[in-house]
Each structure stands twice: as structure tokens, then as C-alpha cells.
Amino acid sequence: MTDDLAAIAAFDGTVRLFPLPNLVLFPHVVQVLHVFEPRYRQLMADALVADHTFALALLQPGWEDDYDGRPPVHEVACLGRIGWHEQLPDGRFNLRLRGLSRVRLTEEVPTDRLYRVARAELVPDVAPADLGRLKRLRKGLAEAVLPHFAGDAPARRQVEDLFGGDLPLGHVCDILAYGLPLPLEFKQALLVEPHVDLRAERMADALKASAARAARRFPPDFSAN
């Protein structure tokens, strides 16, 4: 069993929260973080002596009014595992956090810690049993994504390898959702969606619409009439 699978299997329904205003983490990707606030230094110290996990949660709009308190976070977050870390002499941390699974936060719980803690349930991917549909969705998503990399040969090859590999479609969607320059609220909507087919459809539709907008010339050509 890999460390990631072991961490998921050992999940006990309680999660440390690391809310952020501008980042949505997805399963199967790695995020570099720099931890400097005292509450999150404490979170890191506790995680490292326990299960090495915490959840990144996106703050809801209006968080600026109560950032140092308990501003609302979105209900669905991403559980991550600390894969590497270093503690600096002044107590700050650098780390790499690997996304493990979507989690639905059901309630915050009282704690004597500086950081927030919540009860949560794992949200696994839901994939259709129709393999033909999955293949069509994979092909359609590739056709929507690849035009965005037409002028970047190395990145395009990476994306082609991603679609041509053995990763399940849900994993491919999550990697793309994390890496592509999509609106933050749309990324959160993709994180909320556990159904792989709907996630792929929504991402393909959004990318096709973006490409269509970019293709429109402004100002338009003058009419010959």
C-alpha cells in the first residue's frame, strides 16, 4: 500500500483546516506551500507527529473582514498529505502537499488549538460504468484542451502524454483543473463535482467557450458591401 492510500485508509473523519483565499487543491497534484502564521506552524507541527495530513479549503467571499478569525469556507475541500517539508530556523515551514481526496466538511469542532478543525467525510470519484462513454469524454476533453497549447510544444507534449497514459479520466480532470488558468470559482465547482463524467463535460464546455471567445476578432473586419 502506498503512503497516499495508507493515509486515506487511516482517515478518522477529523481534519485540520488550512483555509486559503486564492487556491483550490485537487487530488493527484502537488502544491508547494510556505507556512509562516503561528496557527499554521502549530498545524504543521501537529500534523507531522500525527498522520501528516490536513485539508486545504477555499475561503468564501467576504473573508477579508474576519481573516484572523473563522471566516466561512466552502463545504468541499481537499485532503492532502505532507510529502516533504523543511522547518526554517525561525519556525516557518516549506512543504509539498499532495492532494489525496475530496472531503466534505460537515461541521467544525471545538479545539484548544490555534487552527481550525472539522469533521469531514471522504468523497470518492463516481465514474460511469459505460467504458465507451468514458472514452468519448476523454477524447472530447482532449480536443478541448489541446488547442490551448498550440504554441507551446513542450507543454503540449505533456498534455498529450497525460491523455495517452493510463490515468483514469477523473485523475486527468483533476490535474488539468489544477493546472489550467481557470477562474477560481469554476475550479471550486469542479472540486465539488464527484461525478467524473459531469466534471469532464463541464471542463470541456468551458474550454471550448474560452477558445471561441479568443477566436473572435475585435474590431471585426469591415464589410466589403
DSSP code string of 105-136:
EEEE---SSSSEEEEEEEE--B--S-HHHHHH
Mean pLDDT of 215-225: 46
Please report whether residue 26 resides in a domain.
yes
191 and 94 in a single domain? The answer is: no
89 and 199 in a single domain? The answer is: no
Please report whether residue 220 resides in a domain.
no
Express each pLDDT in 145-177 by its tens digit: 999 887 778 889 999 999 999 999 999 999 999
Task: Among 54, 88, 123, identify where a domain stops.
Answer: 123
178 and 85 in a single domain? The answer is: no
Structure confidence at residue 150 (pLDDT): 79
Indicate the pLDDT class of residue 45, thresholds 50, 70 and 90.
very high
Please report whether residue 223 resides in a domain.
no
* Helix/strand/coil percentages in the chain, nearest 5: 40, 25, 30
> What global pTM score does this model have?
0.90
Please report whether residue 75 resides in a domain.
yes
Q: Sign of the C-alpha dihedral, residues 82, 31, 14, 112?
A: positive
106 and 141 in a single domain? The answer is: no
8 and 109 in a single domain? The answer is: yes
7 and 105 in a single domain? The answer is: yes
161 and 207 in a single domain? The answer is: yes
- Structural domains of the chain, count: 2
Indicate the pLDDT class of residue 217, thresholds 50, 70 and 90.
very low
Express each pLDDT in 174-195 by its tens digit: 999 999 999 999 999 999 999 9
Express each pLDDT in 97-116 by its tens digit: 999 999 999 999 999 999 99
Please state, rounded to an integer, the average pLDDT across all residues of the chain.
92
In which residue are the cell numbers 510544444 written?
Answer: 153
Structural domain harbouring 205: 131-215
What is the distance between the alpha carbons of residues 24 and 68, in angstroms, rounded to a whole number?
20
145 and 69 in a single domain? The answer is: no
